[in-house]
Amino acid sequence: MKLKLGSEKILLAVAFVSLILVCLPRFNGNQTWVQQTPWDAQYFNAYVQYFRGETPAAPIRPMSNCRFLLPLLAAPLPFAPDTSLNLINFFCIALSLYFLYAILKHIGVDPKQRWWAVFIGIFSFPTFYYTCISYVDAGAILFVSMGVYAWLQKKYVVFSLVVLLGLLAKETSIVLFPFAMAWTIKEKQYRHLTVLFFGLILFFFLHYLIQLYAPLTPGEMRFKPLQFNWGAAQNNLQRPHTLLSFLLSLGLPGVLLTRALIKNKANFLNSNIHFAALGGLFGVFALYVFSFLTTVADGRIIWHGYIFMFLLIFAQKRLTTKELRNEGNMFS
């Protein structure tokens, strides 16, 4: 089904207004509708103050200090730290939805289904709950979407740069590696697989250097490695928020994915793009299990898997690298 240009412009306007309305109730961690304080928000807001040359209202702590790209981008904006950071977050999610649309267009998905995917992404629990609360996951979501698009466009240098920038936003962008590795395994591109393996080692090394040299409030311990412990798992098992945020974050994409897996299991294993999306989704759930066993787990990590879910739900063809179309290549 081909949509007219006028219809596309109307849908774009409706999508943008819808995204504003979805994000507005929780903007700056508003507690009017949801009584849940985003605890780490104070540290990222303090990071914005640090980059402005102001005295931070909270300490610059390990882990949050490694995720400095979005606070750095927010610092020049002429608003309060939380407002500046959340405006950056909002536009990161808006751009990630644009890349979702571009990815689905690139692989030949029907225009009507592309817009279904965009609106499902907009009216999802993570977009409402996590986008504008002074966290930085929205930046990671953007770079994951950009990385998938660059890979499908065979722009491997751009893909590498996106992975690097994603690391500066949040290390959870690492889920791009299992996506790309699964693709290369399916296509038997073992030279690319070797490069990706060394790229993954470089990713960990650069993360170590960021931990070593990123700003830190005096008196804070620079390295606080996450370790597996039963106490963290028990805490997550006892927290209703853990299970609830997991289920709500899976939401409609999770239901549609389950249906697609049941109907098209054989196609998923034979298709390069489905196999790669399964690899990315495996990486997301591995990250979730890691967070469940080491820290407080919630639905933000599941949010990173939306792009892979949408590929599994909406991609109908068994696409290989040679079959991918070059229309709409914004990286040319």
232-291 per-position pLDDT tens digit: 889 999 989 899 999 999 999 999 999 988 887 667 777 889 999 999 999 999 999 999
Q: Are 151 and 174 in contact (CB under 8 A)?
A: no
Closest CA to 132 of 143, 141, 120: 141
Q: Is the pTM of this model over 0.85?
A: yes
Which of 217, 227, 293, 181 lies closest to 62, judged by CA? 217
Whole-Å CA distances, 53 to 74, 84, 99:
13, 15, 34
The H-or-E segment that residue 167 falls in is: helix 156-169
* Cα distance between residue 63 and residue 11, in whole Å: 39
Note the pLDDT tens digit of each residue in 70-104. Answer: 999 999 999 999 999 999 999 999 999 999 999 99
Of the candidates 23, 12, 143, 6, the residue with the CA atom closest to the CA atom of residue 83: 23
d(CA 255, CA 248): 11
Of 126, 139, 127, the C-alpha closest to 299 is: 126
State whether residue 328 is helix, strand or coil: coil
pLDDT in tens, 6-43: 688 899 999 999 999 999 999 998 777 666 677 789 99
Q: How far apart are the first and last CA of the chain?
A: 27
